[in-house]
Structure 1
Amino acid sequence: MEKKKTFKKRFFYNNSLGIVLFALMILCLIGQFFTGFTTENKELTELGQPSLSFAEYFTSGHFIQATFENWESEFLQMMLYVLLTVSLRQKGSSESKSLTEAEDVDREPKPHPDAPWPVKKGGIYLKIYQHSLSAAFAILFLMSFVLHFYGSFKDENTEKLMKGEPLSRWYDYLSESRFWFESLQNWQSEFLAVFSLVILSIWLREKGSPESKPVDMPNDETP
């Protein structure tokens, strides 16, 4: 029994950051679902339309669009941030690589007993693995982009159907301002958030955080 308790404590300690962030995401997603469900049904009632059930709202354009519109911008932000930090620098920022010294992340990978299997395998497996993080974010971005478009397109046609207007075709909707307004308003906010982290970490500190420089490090020094 004591071993089991120790294992649980160690498991949570070793994975606490991921667990807490995932739990927060789930809680916010649940909150988004119920508040969105209430908002959408309120609007439908005002228009004299029948209310949606939980299952109907879950597959509605309103919920799909709102969810993947945000996921899309997050994955785009992370993909570009991973790629841009390879070659770009910001003097004094904790988010930048050194301006003068070689970084451990730039060295050529060498096979060893504990290395990931693509490193041991080499060849094309290693080439893919070397860029697998940005590739994964790119795939997640594209998936979210498509689902955001689908949800937004479905929501647009649902609104037109209720108004008795002709439905949009997907290739026409792709060039309409509504879809791109939804995307760009999120993209700009994500880039602002990353810009703020990069710039504010030059002068501000958070003791104990890996996202901050040591408290006594000079402002103009890049870690």
Structure 2
Amino acid sequence: GQAPGGHNVISSLFDGIKTLNKGSKLYGFILGPGGLIDHNYMELTADGIDEYRNTGGFDIIGSGRTKLETVEQFEKGYEILKKLDIKALVVIGGDDSNTNACVLAEYYAAKRYGIQVIGCPKTIDGDLKNEMIETSFGFDTACKVYSEVIGNIQRDCNSARKYWHFIKLMGRSASHIALECALQTQPNICIISEEMMLSRKLSVVFAFFLPLCQFVCNHFGQ
């Protein structure tokens, strides 16, 4: 999926390799891993990249959901990397993409193919974090944008008190965005996926809707 900053990762890679060696070339595989397997690529030039600097989205090459899981896929990727004389492959994406990058790196290392595979953490979910990764790019921007929208809705709540607003945010099983936005905007209640997973043995009614209804009723003293 898209995350703010993707285009600047690519433009920074271009600037970096050109600084080291003006003869170096940067290729982009269309729709990510799918382009690597299908040998669908484009050379990224200075004029083309300049149009995308400091812009959102990831449409310069697009993104895809293809997973790199089989030896056949690894070898198909190696074919095009060898043909283009590529020595380093940068995989930009979230937890799935970086897991695939790790598996691919281990395979190429075991085969001694001489190709460096580098994972770049790109996800607004904020679920790629350890002692080496302070945060994934896209998370901070997403939280700021969401929090501004939530703040506007809260202002409307103060104006028309007869309404309750329920806001669903991205994250699926990871609630980093919801928690960060809650810290910034201080809503009445914040429901996180991890709590729902702990309560998965209960029905959805008892785990989610009943506590929510009780909160609303208690707020009005009913």
TM-score (norm. length: structure 1): 0.25
Look at both structures and tell me which one has the larger radius of gyration over its CA atoms: 1
More strand, by proportion: 2
TM-score (norm. length: structure 2): 0.26
